[in-house]
Structure 1
Amino acid sequence: WPGKLAVKGVQSVADAKAFADAGVDAVVLSNHGGRQLDRAPVPFHLLPEVVKEVGADLEVIVDTGIMNGADVVASIAMGARFTLIGRAYLYGLMAGGRPGVDKAISILSEQVVRTMKLLGAHSLEELTPDHVTQLERLIPRARR
């Protein structure tokens, strides 16, 4: 295979390591929108540890839960290379076809710019985990 290979649906640090060892170019942290896997790990919560373990070897992408520009900024700050925006663009598509998708992307872009300004960050490269506060109430219970 001469192209790049990304694996979507990664839900653990161990799987991310295994894919890195197998030579993939990127992993997409995703629980597929949580529709069928609403008890699966939250990709944003996995992000810091996955980036710590494999971020130097491959691109880490976040899918699931990206509903606004602040989610994009937070994911980048926590080490994601970029995010997918499945639901946001689908909502735009359902509401207005292609112009609705364009509007959804415009809204997300404006939100990213506003969030960056509020953080005092001039570029994505300036973002660090210090720009993000993870809410305690969203952390899964410890396994017994």
Structure 2
Amino acid sequence: MPHVWSDWTQAVLAEADEVVITAVPDLANLRNTKNLLDALKKLRPNDKVPHLLLNQVGMAKRPEIEPSDFFGPLEIEPLAIIPFDVQLFGSASNSGRMISEIDAKSPIAETFSQLSHVLTGRSSARKAKRPGLGKFIEILKRK
């Protein structure tokens, strides 16, 4: 969302089904997130609390607030905490591909998958059971 609150930004936030706030763990973002949460409580008093993501956690040579210290004053639990992985995000950005296309088995790709399921309200598909010894024994009994 733009930094300036206008009529259309308030209208979009008031009408949205889900609101997701993404912040990095520093003092300025803590202040802005707190202000945004307070404004959204007034704007959407009967709606669900916004989801909160903490992004770029653990970036080298950057002072940051611990995630537990960040979420404590906000009185909200994070939907996800996304660690900073310069190699993965840099590769995805430079090649124009999604994180899951670069490394489908990375914990970050799994986090994004879980986020998509939560935000769309869809449950993840169950994995098909692999036929084990039980199936093999059934085949032998038939003979």
Give the TM-score of the pair, scaled to structure 1.
0.36
Relative to the length of structure 2, the TM-score reads 0.36
Give the structure with higher Rg (CA): 2
The structure richer in helix per residue is 1
